[in-house]
Structure 1
Amino acid sequence: MVEIATRVYNHKWKIDPIVRSLIDTDFYKLLMCQSVFRNRPDTTVTFSLINRTTSVPLANLVDEGELREQLDHIRSLSLSRGESTWMRGNTFYGKRQMFTPEFMDWFERLRLPPYHLERRGDQYELTFEGPWPEVMLWEIPALSVLMELRSRAVLDDMKKFELQVLYARAMTKLWEKVERLRSVEGLRIADFGTRRRHSFLWQDWCVQAMREGLGPGFVGTSNCLIAKNRDLEAIGTNAHEMPMVYAALADTDAELARAPYEVLSDWHEEHDGNLRIILPDTYGTKGFLENAPDWLAGWTGIRVDSGDPAEGAETAIAWWKSRGEDPRRKLVIFSDGLDEEKIIALQRQFSGRVRVSFGWGTLLTNDFRGLTSGDRLAPFSLVCKAVAANGRPTVKLSDNPRKAMGPEDEIARYKRVFGVGEQERMEVVV
């Protein structure tokens, strides 16, 4: 096991580049990329960095030259032979050859496209534009780079023993969470913490701690490189990006209303009925389910990723019942703003009513709250989203209006088309 404090203290850039591989990314990114490669390869998209926590002045903390160096390094990466073999030959969700030969041939030749970086006051403007299958793969590494460079900026003035104590406290903090989760009967939990992790080495340590501490209750990681290196299940399905882009491409209100379901129709065809998890909240969970075609009720489950998690699960249970489905056979994956107390409460509330699972993100892989003076390592909300498709703006409504994005007139139009009324504004934890 890597001695993290010593590695940080003796840091050498070539030993510890922030992103080490094109598969140092979330599994759902690769799954979505294959679907886009097949169904919408000629769509041009723009992704942009959005710092929701404006009190964190990234441009004052992170050196622009070092940021460029890390981004340029990512552009030099390509799949290694071992990584390609893992993707081509491994079994994912019980299916061999999840990735087609055509997609793998393309991915093995891929180098990520150029980026655009400018300083705007105390923040960075970082954008990526080009073919959707290429540009979408910038999201996770871009976030990982900014998050870790911010961590390194805070750690840079710490001496050796101070670093050792810091990481000892962070390890203790995580292990105490693991010990509390051990008592949860029937727990199923995965690491979803790549995009806003403290560092790659820390995420890897957290995954090992979860594996040892929770045993079979720990079901895998969304990080493909760690899954490969640690012989774990790679976990993931799809994200908001696909309905956002499909919706932006719609020419009429009627096409816009159908767009989220077209995404899942393409997804179903892509995966032969596998990976059937619905993410319903892009334009409001309630309206999505009320207008969903009957064939979606037969899918495996739902991921709850915004709004009140208990309310989202109750909405899903009521919908399944209304469509003649038994909720006890369905899976609800909670993945928004989780920490151990919320995980324990949700497991107790819904165990026996549905199959429950958790994707634990930032507060697993980046919870250094209270461990530095001024809380300088506290996690913050940084995202990298598709903001345009073929020159048209994208929109996200979410079940929490604080996560909404897009031009105001388009947000109003989407609310009208999808029947979204008043929403409760909730704090965005991370």
Structure 2
Amino acid sequence: MNVNFAERAHNHNWKLDPIVRSLLDTDFYKLLMLQFIWKNFPAVQVTSEVVNRTVEVRLAERVDVAALIDQMEHVRGLRFRRSEMVWLAGNTFYATRSIFEPGFLEWLEKDFKLSRYEVLEDDGQLVLRFSGLWTEVTMWEVYALAIVSELKTRSALGQLSELELDVLYARAKTRLWDKIERLRKVEGLQLSDFGTRRRHSFLWQEYCVQAMRVSLNQNGDERFTGTSNTALAYKHDLEAIGTNAHELPMALAAMASEGSDEQLRASQYKVLELWQRSYGGSLLIMLPDTFGTTQFLQGAPDWVADWTGQRIDSKDPVVAGDEYIGWLMQRGRDPRGKRLIASDGLDVEDIVRLHEYFRGRIRFSAGWGTLLTNDFRGCHPRGEDTLGPISLVCKLMTVEGRPAVKLSDNARKATGPASEIERYRQVFGSGAEVGAAVVV
């Protein structure tokens, strides 16, 4: 953990300092979803696109396009290493050995490749667009976001002297320690790292993960449960954390959108049926807010209540958690045996508050993301804000030529053509509730 960040940042003077050094440097859920797509939709064509929701930050002015392309091409040239494949094949994930099928692992090692891409500029923003087979496009999400995020970091660091870099990281380490100190006092805490996609850098994420593990897991108390970053889980013998994301219901809805309204509405449950055929146990965590949580729960088949838990995304976690608990009780299930995961823009104050609020009512855990691995706010030695986190996302745009839509519980996060968003709102009955401002 003794990393000289100032010297490391100051010496970016070789031809290519890779940001992504392994194809395992991605969120674990992407691998689970890739196997799901490979098994169920191997011939489906999609497009996806990186979007900067923090529009006041003009990324095209902060990220060098040539460096971006170099980094993207480097990732395209990577292959899964034999030792990584052995680990994926033999390790236990979520108390399940051989979670990845032999046929999938053989394909992953021999035939997996990343799709073609475009890098464009539009009114000061970078546009990264990916197109091809869904199996070739889906993995770009985390690689691309991590690359853009770290190139933004490197651009800002390149303006600082080595002494200023030393001051910057000293302040960031102090901030991280202050956060950890507060978390150490919380009994029964369950916390994991979700910070890959918008991290300050890979090395900083690794430092944060190691600091959390050393500080929170003492005397048999395992408060830090693992990391979503598969490479870090592999390297440091940690639990790999993650299940699924909005991409799946968005894709199945797009494929159903030319059918009846009922087929479109039912697509959100078809995802769960297919997922349940591939995975079980702790991997049965639903993410119901793609088209609105309330309508999802109201129309869900009874068997959905047997799933292990729910991840909250854009809804107020208190409101969403209470809604889920009430729904479980109406369905005759005991919420105390279920898992509730919050992960959207959390910081220490939110984690502590939510842990206390749900204590004894449901098994609450927190996925701590950007404000763990990229919180340099107020740390800049010149008082500038060039290192602040931004809300960078990569979303499906089309599936088999049809628009992909996400409504979300926060209308600020809705994606898709306006006409399609309106149609989906009518079909799903989801109100356009404007939630909290999107920070990360």
> TM-score, with normalisation over the residues of structure 1?
0.98
Match of residue 341, structure 1, among 342, 349, 357: 349
Q: Indicate whether 1:317 and 2:325 are aligned.
A: yes
Match of residue 306, structure 2, among 275, 278, 298: 298
Cα 1:14–1:236 shift into 2, 3 Å: farther
Q: Report matched runs for 1:239-258 at 5 Å.
A: 239-250=245-256, 251-258=259-266
CA-to-aligned-CA distance 1:96-134 (integer Å, 9 cap, x gap)? 111111111111122312211112231111100011111
2:384 alignment partner in structure 1: 374
Provide structure 2 residue ranges, at least 5 long, that are not aligned to the other structure: none
2:429 alignment partner in structure 1: 419
- Please give the alpha-carbon distance, in whole angstroms, between the structure 2 residues aligned to 1:187 and 1:13: 43
- Please give the alpha-carbon distance, in whole angstroms, between the structure 2 residues aligned to 1:420 and 1:120: 31
Q: Indicate whether 1:268 and 2:276 are aligned.
A: yes
- Please give the alpha-carbon distance, in whole angstroms, between the structure 2 residues aligned to 1:234 and 1:16: 26
Tell whether the 8 Å contact from 1:191 to 1:222 is kept in structure 2 after alignment. Answer: yes
Tell whether the 8 Å contact from 2:191 to 2:223 is kept in structure 1 after alignment. Answer: yes
CA positional deviation for 1:33:
0.6
2:393 alignment partner in structure 1: 383
- Please give the alpha-carbon distance, in whole angstroms, between the structure 1 residues aligned to 2:41 and 2:135: 8
CA positional deviation for 1:374:
2.3
Match of residue 237, structure 1, among 233, 237, 243: 243
2:143 alignment partner in structure 1: 141
Q: Which amino acid aligns with 2:36?
A: S
- Please give the alpha-carbon distance, in whole angstroms, between the structure 2 residues aligned to 1:134 and 1:63: 25
Tell whether the 8 Å contact from 2:156 to 2:386 is kept in structure 1 after alignment. Answer: yes
CA positional deviation for 1:79:
0.4
- Please give the alpha-carbon distance, in whole angstroms, between the structure 2 residues aligned to 1:205 and 1:111: 30
Residue 227 of structure 1 aligns to a residue whose secondary structure is helix
1:207 alignment partner in structure 2: 209
Q: Indicate whether 1:178 and 2:180 are aligned.
A: yes
Residue 290 of structure 2 aligns to a residue whose secondary structure is coil
Provide structure 1 residue ranges, at least 5 long, that are not aligned to the other structure: none
CA positional deviation for 1:11:
2.1
Cα 1:355–1:273 shift into 2, 3 Å: closer
Tell whether the 8 Å contact from 1:268 to 1:274 is kept in structure 2 after alignment. Answer: no
1:328 alignment partner in structure 2: 336
- Please give the alpha-carbon distance, in whole angstroms, between the structure 2 residues aligned to 1:25 and 1:419: 34
- Please give the alpha-carbon distance, in whole angstroms, between the structure 2 residues aligned to 1:66 and 1:345: 41
Q: Report matched runs for 1:78-97 at 5 Å.
A: 78-97=79-98
CA-to-aligned-CA distance 1:28-55 (integer Å, 9 cap, x gap)? 0000110010011111010101110111
Tell whether the 8 Å contact from 1:335 to 1:360 is kept in structure 2 after alignment. Answer: yes
2:153 alignment partner in structure 1: 151
1:165 alignment partner in structure 2: 167
2:37 alignment partner in structure 1: 36
Runs of 4 or more consecutive aligned structure 1 residues displaced over 6 Å after TM superposition = none
2:267 alignment partner in structure 1: 259
Q: Report matched runs for 1:11-30 at 5 Å.
A: 11-13=12-14, 16-30=17-31
Residue 283 of structure 2 aligns to a residue whose secondary structure is coil
2:126 alignment partner in structure 1: 124
2:372 alignment partner in structure 1: 364
1:71 alignment partner in structure 2: 72
- Please give the alpha-carbon distance, in whole angstroms, between the structure 2 residues aligned to 1:12 and 1:108: 32
- Please give the alpha-carbon distance, in whole angstroms, between the structure 2 residues aligned to 1:8 and 1:371: 16
CA positional deviation for 1:421:
2.3
- Please give the alpha-carbon distance, in whole angstroms, between the structure 2 residues aligned to 1:84 and 1:15: 26
Tell whether the 8 Å contact from 1:59 to 1:123 is kept in structure 2 after alignment. Answer: yes
Moved more, 381-390 or 120-129: 120-129
- Please give the alpha-carbon distance, in whole angstroms, between the structure 2 residues aligned to 1:21 and 1:12: 21
Q: Which amino acid aligns with 1:233?
A: E
Cα 1:81–1:12 shift into 2, 3 Å: farther
- Please give the alpha-carbon distance, in whole angstroms, between the structure 2 residues aligned to 1:89 and 1:14: 36
CA-to-aligned-CA distance 1:150-203 (integer Å, 9 cap, x gap)? 000000021111111111110110110000011111100000000000000000
2:403 alignment partner in structure 1: 393
- Please give the alpha-carbon distance, in whole angstroms, between the structure 2 residues aligned to 1:235 and 1:337: 17
Tell whether the 8 Å contact from 1:241 to 1:386 is kept in structure 2 after alignment. Answer: yes
- Please give the alpha-carbon distance, in whole angstroms, between the structure 2 residues aligned to 1:288 and 1:12: 51
Q: Which amino acid aligns with 2:149?
A: M
Cα 1:14–1:184 shift into 2, 3 Å: farther
- Please give the alpha-carbon distance, in whole angstroms, between the structure 1 residues aligned to 2:353 and 2:17: 38
Identity of aligned residues (%): 54
Query: Number of paired residues?
Result: 430
Residue 325 of structure 1 aligns to a residue whose secondary structure is coil
Match of residue 192, structure 1, among 187, 191, 194: 194
CA positional deviation for 1:260:
0.9
Q: Which amino acid aligns with 1:380?
A: I
- Please give the alpha-carbon distance, in whole angstroms, between the structure 2 residues aligned to 1:186 and 1:219: 12
Q: Which amino acid aligns with 1:424?
A: V
- Please give the alpha-carbon distance, in whole angstroms, between the structure 1 residues aligned to 2:335 and 2:96: 25
Q: Which amino acid aligns with 2:188?
A: G
| RMSD after superposition | 1.1
CA positional deviation for 1:422:
4.5
CA positional deviation for 1:3:
2.0
